[in-house]
């Protein structure tokens, strides 16, 4: 690179990782925010037949196996057996998980031990219609989730290029929603909204629609984390969806974000490596970041491996 060039490197502020993430997650499950503890919720429900734990899919770099193992350890301690638990991978409209991806999501201590299924957004036989949202979005949700006595969401919170932030209600819509529901909420009109941007969520129409639907589907408990650029856990919250998610958003805003103080002629950006740059569809996220820092008429160079190609066939 020419030494005469004026180059700035913008990156997240450094974060301290948790020394014992598994124990930290279990501690938060025992001492949640905004809700009773998971043990108290189980005891209050009385007879719990089936538990559904929603997990991120392979396109997300969160160490799901830690969240799942900590949660299941606690459930086992409360008298819930492995045979009562199903892990539902929140694929949204993404492709189904490959077996090696599923093994990585569950980890060596859970893979082959706990029942695990992918959500299939286009399989109407595995969806239940719940009516329409306040904004007339048809609500189709995975049957495994709805028919469970105890509903738990796991995931991670980071900025999202049109949803504001990931995590929280995003595990339901788009995570385990039907294609009709997802497409209605991810419409071109809503994506074009000035409030459908990185870091905006309380005024974001897609986030608000998703929260409305969550209030209809129900959720008993969430376990969400923040991670650093090496995909290691830096912060964990558990408990009520809105409270836990808000705390992690505020952590991101206060501890991680770096301001873009000026606009540039050229912006070189990327998704941050595998699995975030798995395909071209996911790579669009880095282009949206580049847009925030480039001058009108400037150039965005988005660098992503895209080891899985362009994405789903329908995306082509």
Q: E strands within the chain?
A: 51-56, 85-90, 115-118, 127-132, 138-142, 150-156, 159-160, 164-165, 221-227, 233-239, 264-269, 294-302
Both tokens of 98, joined, read 């490959």
Burial 138-156, CB ≥16 within 10 A → b, else e: ebbbbebbeebebbbbbbb
Instruction: Choose, from 31, 81, 119, 160, the residue flagged as catalytic.
Output: 160
According to DSSP, the β-strands at 51-56 and 85-90 are parallel
In a 3-state reduction of DSSP, which class is residue 132?
A: strand
Q: E strands within 125-211?
A: 127-132, 138-142, 150-156, 159-160, 164-165
Q: How many whole angstroms separate alpha carbon 49 and alpha carbon 45?
A: 10
231 flagged as catalytic: no
Q: Are 90 and 144 in contact (CB under 8 A)?
A: no
Instruction: Choose, from 94, 119, 186, 245, the residue flagged as catalytic.
Output: 94
Q: Are 68 and 55 in contact (CB under 8 A)?
A: yes
160 flagged as catalytic: yes
According to DSSP, the β-strands at 264-269 and 294-302 are parallel
| Catalytic residue positions, numbered | 94, 160
């Amino acid at each position: 690179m020419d030494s005469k060039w004026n180059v700035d490197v913008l990156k997240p502020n450094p974060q301290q990782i948790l020394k014992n993430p598994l124990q930290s997650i279990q501690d938060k499950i025992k001492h949640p925010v905004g809700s009773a503890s998971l043990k108290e919720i189980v005891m209050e429900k009385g007879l719990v037949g089936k538990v559904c734990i929603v997990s991120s899919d392979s396109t997300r770099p969160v160490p799901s196996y830690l969240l799942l193992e900590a949660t299941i350890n606690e459930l086992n301690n409360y008298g819930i057996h492995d045979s009562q638990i199903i892990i539902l991978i929140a694929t949204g409209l993404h492709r189904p998980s490959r077996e090696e991806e599923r093994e990585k999501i569950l980890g060596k201590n859970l893979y082959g031990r706990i029942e695990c299924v992918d959500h299939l957004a286009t399989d109407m036989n595995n969806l239940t219609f719940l009516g329409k949202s306040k904004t007339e979005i048809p609500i189709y949700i995975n049957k495994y989730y709805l028919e469970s006595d105890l509903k738990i969401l796991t995931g991670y919170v980071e900025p999202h290029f049109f949803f504001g932030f990931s995590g929280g209600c995003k595990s339901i819509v788009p995570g385990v929603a039907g294609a009709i529901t997802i497409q209605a909420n991810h419409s071109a009109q809503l994506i074009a909204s000035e409030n459908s941007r990185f870091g905006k969520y309380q005024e974001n129409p897609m986030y608000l629609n998703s929260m409305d639907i969550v209030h209809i589907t129900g959720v008993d408990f969430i376990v969400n984390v923040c991670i650093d650029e090496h995909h290691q856990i830096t912060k964990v919250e558990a408990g009520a969806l809105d409270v836990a998610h808000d705390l992690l958003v505020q952590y991101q805003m206060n501890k991680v974000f770096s301001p873009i103080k000026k606009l540039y002629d050229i912006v070189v950006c990327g998704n941050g490596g595998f699995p975030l740059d798995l395909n071209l569809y996911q790579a669009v996220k880095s282009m949206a970041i580049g847009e925030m820092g480039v001058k009108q008429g400037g150039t965005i160079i988005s660098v992503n491996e895209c080891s899985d190609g362009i994405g789903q066939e329908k995306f082509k």
